[in-house]
Structure 1
Amino acid sequence: MQQKKSVSNICPAVAKTGDVSSCPYNDKCRFSHDVEAFKAQKPDDLVGECPFSRAEEPCPYGLTCRFLGTHQEGVSVGSIHASRNSSEMNVFSKDVQKLLWKNKMRFPKADAKLKALGLLKHANSKVKIPVDKEDDQIVLKNYDVVNGNGSTDLTDKDTELEKSATITENDVVDETLESNELPPLKKPKCVVSESCFIEAEDAGVMVVEKVVSESCKQTEADTTDDLVTPETDGSLKLHPREKKIIDFRDKLYLAPLTTVGNLPFRRVCKVLGADVTCGEMAMCTNLLQGQASEWALLRRHSTEDLFGVQICGAFPDTVARAVELIDKECSLDFIDINMGCPIDLVVNKGAGSALLMKPMRMKGIIEAASGTVDKPITIKVRTAFFEGKNRIDSLIADIGNWGASAVTIHGRSRQQRYSKLADWDYIYQCARKAPDTLPVLGNGDIFSYLDWNKRKAECPELSSCMIARGGLVKPWIFTEIKEQRHWDISSGERLDILKNFVRFGLQHWGSDTKGVETTRHFFLEWLSHTCRYIPVGLLDIVPQRLNWRPPSYYGRDDLETLMASDSAADWIRISEMLLGKVPDGFTFAPKHKSNSYDRAENG
């Protein structure tokens, strides 16, 4: 408590208003109310203006803003209810989060569809879970469940993806909790846990068994007032072919990119010409558990006029329920289901590219998801799981019948990861076999407008091409394609793009010290990719290829040389130009350090 009372941890309410009396907890508050002491130890302001200076509302960070000196007199601090960024949508509701924590959210649309498909059984579970009820909150005790492979380690796997990241979007959303509220010590599993499903493959059918918490055994008549169900309308259910169709033809589609495909980066790409954007991949189990860091991946900016979210799950029930909840809580145009992610943590749970080996599981997921919501459901796949055993061409006709509105094919197998070039001939083969009602998009190695033109010309049946690593290395590729030219961009123009990212990042993650350092982290992650760009004016052969590994070279000015460095120390120097000096003892190692050429982990 004494540590939290230190002057560096000033009360958020006091910081926003500058008024000690604004805190509703007074002396019981766990944070410091000493404004003068906080100002005395606060780091010097950064160079530049507050990223919220042009907003209609005052800066929501008030006294903690690192640009406090640029706040106008009389409006230097904001109201306690000031929004971080009124242009952002899909902010996770605390009320919904609490309901998910307590297993009191119900999914009538998803469950009705699952039951109709025969994927939801009401037989008693073979796995008994001891349950403690305390204060109307259900806490599941630790237990082991044997999966189809005989292992018993599924209990803790749901949070492994969270543990792999040093800084997550949780830095943003956790601040939505009141200062006196803490999440429960143990978060219960979702109503139906993924780990409680057993597939009887030897019988040729999927037998779905579930463990239902006591809170969900009550009938409709016994439902309590705080048991919330997503709204249902009385309209007739649309046939999949009657759903709203998104015309992807010739649109520039920025792929969902892990770590770097955050909201500020997507805003940069929108400014430079991207037509379609998609959020980072979110795990369905984590969404259903109410994990704020996972819900932060679904954030949308008002400039993203054609926006989708990407989710990943191993079973029809978790995907369908996540889809229903997302459709109710979020503003979006389509939902993409990832069936191609090669990451071990995902594949080992039976999700991502592991689904390519289970076509009937794919069918169940697509049918359940598309039958639950009216929003278009798209999927993203790889050519196969194992190299040399392509199978999407044999499934492409069925995928449309199952309810998918579009399919994106990454021209590599899971085993291949990001090595070698994408197999566009196979993508063409799949596009020609696809029914006319199913748009097919290709993905892999698009790095110039000539690459885009070639892929479109060689296969008119292809609706569009998804741009992934090419957008990471040079986000102005969208401008090049639209203007049909090689842009010999100068170091000054590139610096302006980096400044835009920093401004968008401070608006998204915050202009206080925590927000500045979070922005710096994701900025450095991005620089670990942009250093691979070779200026057009220095090339002997135009255009640059994505798989080139250029030797060290001198640019046309010092800034261009600095931007070409593959040293993390030089990336930190660039960050200090825009975000001030790094804290004492600061170090940085990119998440995809050894894989920056071959693995952008974009599924």
Structure 2
Amino acid sequence: MGGDSEAGPVPDASNGVAAALAAQRTPEELVAKSIAPVKKQYLRPPPLRPCSKDQNDAVPEGSAKSSTVVKEKKSKRQLKRERREVQKSPLGICPEVAKRGDVTRCPYKDKCRYSHDIEAYKAQKPEDIEGECPFMAVDEPCPYGLSCRFMGTHKDGVADGDVNAHRRNSEINGLSKNVQKLLWKNKVKFTKADAKLKALGLMGHAKSKTVATSKENGSVSKDCDVTDGNGCSEFPCNTDDKLEETAEIKEDGCVDETFPSDEMDLSAEVKEEGGANDTFPSEESRPSKKARSVFEEEFVTGEADDGGASAAGKVVGKTCLQPEPEAAANVECLENDKILKTHPREKKIIDFREKLYLAPLTTVGNLPFRRVCKGLGADITCGEMAMCTNLLQGQASEWALLRRHSSEDLFGVQICGAYPDTVAHTVELIEQECTVDFIDINMGCPIDIVVNKGAGSALLTKPMRMKGIVQAASGTVDIPMTVKVRTAYFEGKNRIDSLIADMGNWGASAVTIHGRSRQQRYSKLADWEYVYQCAKKAPDSLQVLGNGDVFSYVDWNKHKVECPQLSSCMIARGALIKPWIFTEIKEQRHWDITSGERFNILKDYVRCGLEHWGSDTKGVETTRRFLLEWLSYTCRYVPVGLLDVIPQRLSWRPPTYFGRDDLETLMASDSAADWVRLSEMLLGKVPDGFTFAPKHKSNAYDRAENG
């Protein structure tokens, strides 16, 4: 493939092989090769495409044509300077002025960082997009006023009255500015979580052996983890890496429009404040900063006078042998109020039985997508995975993942953390700030950046830490706790069956088992036999859900019949490729959906996206980015009427084929240029210099290469 990089356009390799095989072999032979058996009259040769140096690389290098796609990574300072320049230009009109069309409505007057020149903005504003403003469709005033890309459809021009009423009525779970500022300054106290952690002996991450060594030597052990104020053993100085790896567009999707641009600078100040405590000998020598006691305050202020090591030795002795007065009072109150506190089995229970559960899906499983799935029959929805440390730092982009729409009547959030104190603090904060029906703890994420921090599927190698996390979280709040796991960390070394009987006693209400190991990622087929084995070993009080390769009502029925002990099945990639799978399961039929019906689903998504991210230029382009990410999955769907064997399997590779009409052919394309054309049918022409590369494959779009 690399040797042909300068030979000009070449056929798409994977689809070309699939198409050649499909034309020569029987449907049964194609199924055995995991190729979708498309009827021969619809097959076509693979299209010619400009090839890059290495089509398997997500970021092609050394290719002149890819120079417009591969851009030099800009520093935060450069990005901030560019944002300032846009704000000062006529296109950076003040949001308050744009809402009302009145310069006098801005409270900052001449000191405002944005432009107030309405006429200059109108002269440079991009032309309106065809269609109706999504807010006008629900008889609500548009909160974007002059900046709305559908301004021509506004009935009364610029709205007057409460322009933010629609969002407040339809979406909840936003982080208040006051709490966010306290999180930035590390001043939030977690009394319930800390009391539970003390009762369980989980206040720190270090083991007692490390504490004993520190007491004897009076020095800091090199192997001792030092916690930051959020209870994480290693403060993630590179938390932006996670955001960049999952999706840079997540920052654009932030719903908190008032979030200051210097957020990371404030976070850096918090880190510097926490750096003074790095000389502590162990976690057990001090509680989390958020629950700092009077005794600990005295130690911190007197640390320089006593020489650090000797003072640290005093704290180790006093912390281990003599509980702090405030903490002891908390524990005593906890013991005295046990009669009033609900037993784990008496907590609210979420009944997952027979309900269709849309899995938490990173990037694509956003609020607009969940609204679409709810309309197509999903019963339970869950937000995208959020990192505990980022939530505790008050990152608005992470808190945006917890937002809930009013249509989501049974809704949970998924969090991911490496330590009991981190997770316990997070669930207490979520209980205080959000309205959720359950909290799911991710212990199966296979992404390297998550695993390397000791979270996700890394916890599968540490069952005692799994126990501590579930016990601390379930004991801190009354919200039901669920757990998402994989079969094991290494393939062939399954271990969840040995833990399943205890998870209910730890406090989990339900556990979802993805039938693959971390080592497998998403390769091979899910091991449903092992999922059945775990479900049969689980106690009656613990609901077990299966996950992996559910792509039709036939798969759903098969799992329910073969293992009645399963409460339900979680649907993930199957919903990304065909979100109407929920309708198929409820109606027990294979829906031969037309291209027009599929396009209407895309229209619904765009409408929900514009309501969520905004109908101004930024909101339109954010909606476009997330739409393109979703289209990179939907192209894998093969219509029922085109298949020789039904239903389609998730592991099948579709060959290149013609649809029954031009729109269906366009939707079947795996070219990013065709996905962009679909987005232009819904959101207007892309801006000059627009580029797009889906995160999960190398197929990319750039103007120079695709015209």
TM-score (norm. length: structure 2): 0.75
Q: How does 1:225-374 map to 2 (within 5 A)?
A: 236-374=340-478
Which residue of 2 is the match for residue 160 of structure 1?
241
* Structure 1 residue 3, shift from structure 2 partner: 5.3
SS of 2:412's equivalent?
strand
Distance 2:238 2:142 in 1: 40
Task: After superposing the two structures, state which structure 1 stretch, 54-63 or 526-535, moved more.
Answer: 54-63
CA distance in 1 between partners of 2:446 and 2:349 (Å): 29
1:134-533 to 2 correspondence within 5 Å? 155-164=236-245, 165-169=247-251, 171-177=253-259, 184=266, 186-189=268-271, 208=284, 210=286, 213=289, 216-218=292-294, 236-533=340-637
Return the structure number with greater helix share.
2
1:57-116: CA deviation from partner (whole Å, max 9, x where unpaired): 411111100001111125546657555453011011111100100111000110000000
Matches of 1:405 and 1:215 in 2, distance apart? Answer: 28
Q: Which amino acid aligns with 1:304?
A: E
Q: Cα distance 1:483–1:213, how it changes in 2: closer, same or farther (>3 A)?
A: closer
1:566 aligns with 2:647: no
Q: 1:2 to 1:118 in 2, by over 3 A?
A: closer
In 2, distance between residues paired with 1:287 and 1:190?
Answer: 18
2:173 is matched with: 90
What is the rounded CA distance, in whole Å, between the counterparts of 1:433 and 1:556 in structure 2? Answer: 48
Structure-2 separation of matches of 1:278 and 1:81: 25
Q: Do the aligned partners of 2:190 and 2:290 also contact (CA within 8 Å) in 1?
A: no
* 2:99 equivalent in structure 1: 16
Report the Cα distance in structure 2 between the residues aligned to 1:121 and 1:53, rounded to whole angstroms. Answer: 53
Q: Decide which of 623, 645, 653 is 1:549's aligned counterpart.
A: 653
The residue identity in structure 2 corresponding to 1:372 is T
- Alpha-carbon distance between aligned partners in 2 of 1:553 and 1:87, rounded to the nearest angstrom: 41
Give the Cα–Cα distance (whole angstroms) in 1 for the partners of residues 626 and 171 of structure 2.
Answer: 18
Identity %: 72
Question: What code does the residue aligned with 1:175 have?
Answer: E
The 8 Å contact of residues 167 and 518 in structure 1, kept in 2 or not, is answered as yes
Contact 2:496 2:534 in 1 (8 A): yes
2:151 to 47, 63, 68: 68
CA distance in 2, matches of 1:102, 1:181: 12
CA distance in 1, matches of 2:476, 2:624: 40
The Cα shift of 1:2 comes to 6.2
Structure-1 residue corresponding to 2:120: 37
Structure 1 CA distance, aligned partners of 2:279 and 2:536?
A: 37
Whole-angstrom CA distance in 1 between matches of 2:273 and 2:460: 26
Q: CA distance change for structure 1 residues 80 and 447 in 2, over 3 Å: closer, same or farther?
A: closer
Look up the SS of the partner of 1:66 in the other structure.
coil
- Given that residues 104 and 216 in structure 1 are in contact (C-alpha distance below 8 angstroms), is that contact kept between their aligned partners in structure 2? no
C-alpha deviations, 1:151-187, integer Å up to 9, x for none?
x986524332123222115543341337999962625
Amino acid in structure 2 at the alignment position of 1:331 = T
Conservation of the 8 A alpha-carbon contact between 2:487 and 2:515: yes
Secondary structure of the 1:279 match is: strand
Distance 2:427 2:681 in 1: 42
Q: Note the C-alpha offset of 1:221.
A: 13
The residue identity in structure 1 corresponding to 2:237 is: D
CA contact (8 A) 1:387 1:413 kept: yes
SS in 2 for 1:430: helix
> Structure 1 residue 33: deviation in Å?
0.5
- Aligned-partner SS, 1:172: coil
C-alpha separation between the residues in 1 aligned to 2:284 and 2:95? 47
Match of 1:534 in 2: 638
Aligned pairs for 1:92-111 within 5 A? 92-111=175-194
Q: Give the AA of the match of 2:193.
A: A
- Using the TM superposition, name which of 74-83 and 538-547 deviates more: 74-83
Q: Is the 8 A contact 1:407 1:438 kept in 2?
A: yes
**2:80 alignment counterpart:** none
Alignment check: 8 A CA contact 2:419 2:469 kept? yes
- Of structures 1 and 2, the one with the larger relative CO (CA 8 A, separation 6+) is 2
Distance 1:509 1:551 in 2: 35
1:321-353 deviation digits (Å, cap 9, x = unpaired): 000000110011000000000000000000000
CA-based RMSD of the aligned residues comes to: 3.2
Distance 1:545 1:251, change over 3 A: same
Question: Residues of 2 paired with 1:510 and 1:395: CA distance?
Answer: 45
Asked if structure 1 preserves the Cα contact closer than 8 Å seen for 2:184 and 2:267, the reply is no
Q: CA deviation at 1:188?
A: 1.9
Structure 1: distance between partners of 2:668 and 2:385: 29
Residue 198 and residue 276 in structure 1: after superposition, are their counterparts in 2 closer, same or farther (change >3 A)? farther
* Cα pair 1:397 1:434 within 8 Å, conserved: yes
Question: In 1, distance between residues paired with 2:205 and 2:489?
Answer: 33
What is residue 16 of structure 2 aligned with on the other side?
none
Q: Distance in 2 between matches of 1:182 and 1:56?
A: 38
Query: For the Cα contact (< 8 Å) 2:356–2:568, is it kept in 1?
Result: yes
Q: Which has the larger radius of gyration?
A: 2
SS in structure 2 at match of 1:281 = strand
Using the alignment, how far apart are the partners of 2:548 and 2:478 within structure 1? 30
Equivalent position SS for 2:131:
coil
Secondary structure at 1:466 match in 2: strand
Deviation of 1:292 (Å):
0.4
Structure 1's 77 and 46: CA in aligned 2 closer, same or farther, altered over 3 A? Answer: farther
Pair 1:345–1:208, CA change in 2 (3 A): farther
Q: CA distance change for structure 1 residues 196 and 496 in 2, over 3 Å: closer, same or farther?
A: farther
Find the residue that maps to 2:268 and give its secondary structure.
coil
Unaligned 5+ segments in structure 1 are 128-143, 201-206, 223-231, 597-603
Give the 3 Å change call, closer, same or farther, for CA 258–2 of structure 1 in structure 2. Answer: closer
Q: Are the counterparts in 2 of residues 10 and 38 from structure 1 also a CA contact under 8 Å?
A: yes
Please give the alpha-carbon distance, in whole angstroms, between the structure 2 residues aligned to 1:46 and 1:19: 24
SS in 2 for 1:86: helix
Match among 683, 695, 705 for residue 579 of structure 1: 683
The amino acid of 2:249's aligned partner reads: I
Quote the offset at 1:237 in angstroms. 1.4
1:55: how far off?
3.8
Task: Give the aligned residue type for 2:636.
Answer: R
Q: 1:192 to 1:32 in 2, by over 3 A?
A: closer
Aligned pair count reads: 562
CA distance in 1, matches of 2:136, 2:636: 34
Aligned mate of 1:58, from 129, 137, 141: 141
Whether the aligned pair in 1 keeps the contact of 2:500 and 2:538 (CA below 8 Å) is yes
